[in-house]
Amino acid sequence: MMRLKRTLISSMVGLLLLMQSTTLVAQGPYSILTGTVRGIHVHGLKRWLEVESGKDKAIVELRIGRNTRYSPRQPSAGEKVKVEYLTNRGVPVAYSVTLLEGAQESPKVAPKKSSK
């Protein structure tokens, strides 16, 4: 009888662990937010990117950190960006931030004219 109880409890715990692992794996692809950077804030050791959505003008705060990838560089306030993020424990975490609207272009320099 005692062995049956242990087997039943072990199988229930295993089933619960299996259910938890499938919900963690099935998070799906990244969500994408396109908008304008309103600022980068530091709260203690955590950094946040504040973006105003281009669609509904809602302000979204995204957690950024050492694993966040910036292309071609980290944005500053007023620049348009595309952010790929996942929600981790209820907090949107930015995984890549791409500058839009001409940020990829290098400044054009006029060629020097040689005088003879």
Whether 111 is in a domain gets the answer no
CATH code of 50's domain: 2.40.50.320
CB atoms within 10 A of CB 89: 5
Whether 63 is in a domain gets the answer yes
Give the pLDDT confidence of 13-68 residue by residue, as tens digits. 887 776 665 444 545 688 999 999 999 999 889 999 999 998 899 999 999 988 99
Whether 76 is in a domain gets the answer yes
- Domain with 73 in it: 31-99
Whether 20 is in a domain gets the answer no
Q: 107 pLDDT exceeds 60? A: no
Where do we find the tokens 């050791």?
Answer: 45
- Tell me, what's the pLDDT at 105? 44
Domains in the chain: how many in total? Answer: 1
Give the pLDDT confidence of 92-101 residue by residue, as tens digits. 999 999 999 7
